[in-house]
Structure 1
Amino acid sequence: MVTPEKPLSDGEDVDGELTVDQLAARVGVTVRNLRAYSARGLLPPPRMVGRTGYYGREHVARLLLVREMLAEGYSLAMIERTLASAPANASSTTLALHRALLAPWLPPEPETMTGAEIAARAGVPEDSSLVDRLPELGLVERLGDGVLRVLDPALLAAGLQVVRLGIPPDSLIDAQTRVNEHVREIAQTYVQMFVRTGWQAFVDAGAPRDQLDTMRDTVARLQPAAAQAVLAAFRTEMAAAVGAALETALSRLEEE
């Protein structure tokens, strides 16, 4: 039987390696939950010696972050997406920074539905060829038995609104594919701007803990500011494009 230990605070670290029981006790979670987190890929694999797994500092760091995010109301699915691109051996400081920079940009929780349900929401007949194109956009993943995981429900909802206006779904998918390419460029532009300015200074200073809150606040403010800037520019360009198209169309009517 393992003697319960005092749970680690966010600033503490672990010396040596721990068994699964010791790790659970050290961080303050149950072994059952720890195994559930491992099954979801929230923890890197332990070092195996025979049939016994041994856990180190990187596992403690991950569990501390999972515990913190759960306390803040994040679902396991959101935590899984947040940690998916984090280094397996990241320290608690690195993980906290990774979470602070990435979490504000993640889309809403994924939803599951069928192609028939998507068609019904759009008000169009079910068409398997259209559903087959949705993974091209990175919008859905197939789960089997006709069930789809919608990775960005907000984007799907916006697309369905356009389809309900009478735009053919195929035409919308073609247009959205091109839009995604331009949005990817815009995202890279903002990220590189951030890297060259605040991020580089933070790294050059050795990523001090006392500046982490400032970095987190900067990213939290950058997200809505960037979105507003893109929307404002889009409105201006959309007005110009609509005006030019109307001028051409009206000129043709006058000629006829």
Structure 2
Amino acid sequence: MSGEGPRYTVEELAAKVGMSPRNIRAHQTRSLLGPPIRRGRTAYYDDSHVRRLEAIKALQRQGYNLVAIEAILGVRAPEPVGEALQHLLQRLDREQPGLVHALARHGVLVRGDDGSVQMLRVRLMRSALGLNRAGVHAVPSLQVLSEVLDRLRLIAEDLVRSTSQRLVSATPSLRAGPTGTWDELDVRADALAISMIGLLTEAFRVALENFGTTAMPDLIAECAGGGQLYLTGSATIDNG
């Protein structure tokens, strides 16, 4: 931090950028925001932190989630992919730029410094492209993935909020409010968030497995009978 220019405590920084101190500390934990400089027991931020937080907020307003923002700002490195997937990304970029942008907003893809499209969520992309085994081409698969992520985003927000409230109300030590330092509270909140995400992920997997495997044959027959079944479509891009 430069010795010149204004300095801000975390509360002053939060007021200046319109963000809670908790969110500022969370961005530090994710390495989206650089650490402050401590003077005694007080941590100070400067205008470089203000600019960084404003950039994060601007990207969030454009619909990017934190995973995508991490990649855009150089915090998260894209996962390596094989030659076939890289070739597919190049073709998607040329022929389906809108789809690439939609998936980038969810942190599935990101555009690198050289302008190329890269994957952040290789396992998710492989799952979508795995629909090829049922005759579904790449573009319809990825369009469905984008639509599912749009729908799940709202569901996830509701589930996280309601589940968090339920967990806090059932845990007296959490319900009592902060009793230690902010760092201790952040560690505890992060541990709770990770555990809750694991719970919701596995619960959703079980719910899908319980319903999907038994219902899919009837759903396919119903759609096919109504002339609504489009497995292969006329996409110009396939998995090959």
- TM-score, normalised to structure 2, is 0.50
The separation in 1 between residues aligned to 2:224 and 2:160, in whole angstroms, is 42
The separation in 1 between residues aligned to 2:96 and 2:224, in whole angstroms, is 34
The separation in 2 between residues aligned to 1:250 and 1:166, in whole angstroms, is 14
Aligned to 1:79: 31
The separation in 1 between residues aligned to 2:224 and 2:146, in whole angstroms, is 30
The CA deviation at 1:209 is 2.2
Aligned to 1:193: 162
Uncovered stretches (5+) of structure 2, i.e. residues with no partner: 14-20, 35-41, 44-65, 226-240
Q: Which of 1 and 2 has higher RCO (CA within 8 Å, sep 6+)?
A: 2
Alignment-mate amino acid for residue 160 of structure 2: V
**2:197 aligned to 215, 223, 227, which one?**
223
The CA deviation at 1:234 is 0.7
The separation in 1 between residues aligned to 2:189 and 2:80, in whole angstroms, is 37
Alignment-mate amino acid for residue 78 of structure 2: E
Alignment-mate amino acid for residue 141 of structure 1: V
**1:134 aligned to 82, 94, 100, which one?**
100
The separation in 2 between residues aligned to 1:246 and 1:159, in whole angstroms, is 18
The separation in 1 between residues aligned to 2:124 and 2:6, in whole angstroms, is 42
The separation in 2 between residues aligned to 1:143 and 1:236, in whole angstroms, is 39
What does 1:205-216 align with in structure 2 at a 5 Å threshold? 205-209=176-180, 212=185, 214-216=188-190
* Contact 1:113/1:148, CA 8 A, preserved across alignment: no
Q: How many residues align?
A: 168
Aligned to 1:175: 144
The CA deviation at 1:227 is 0.7
CA deviation string 1:112-136 (max 9, x = no partner): 789x8635368xx935113541211
- TM-score, normalised to structure 1, is 0.48
Aligned to 1:240: 214
How well do the aligned residues superpose, as a CA RMSD in angstroms?
A: 4.6
Aligned to 2:229: none
CA deviation string 1:58-91 (max 9, x = no partner): 38x99xx79x96xxxxxxxx522xx59xxxxxx9
| SS class of match (1:207) | coil
- Identical positions, percent: 14
The separation in 1 between residues aligned to 2:98 and 2:84, in whole angstroms, is 15
What does 1:72-151 align with in structure 2 at a 5 Å threshold? 78-80=30-32, 83=33, 109-111=76-78, 118-120=85-87, 126-127=91-92, 128-137=94-103, 138=105, 139-143=108-112, 145-151=114-120
| SS class of match (2:5) | strand
The separation in 2 between residues aligned to 1:223 and 1:53, in whole angstroms, is 41
Aligned to 1:55: 7
* Larger Rg belongs to: 1
* Contact 1:110/1:149, CA 8 A, preserved across alignment: no
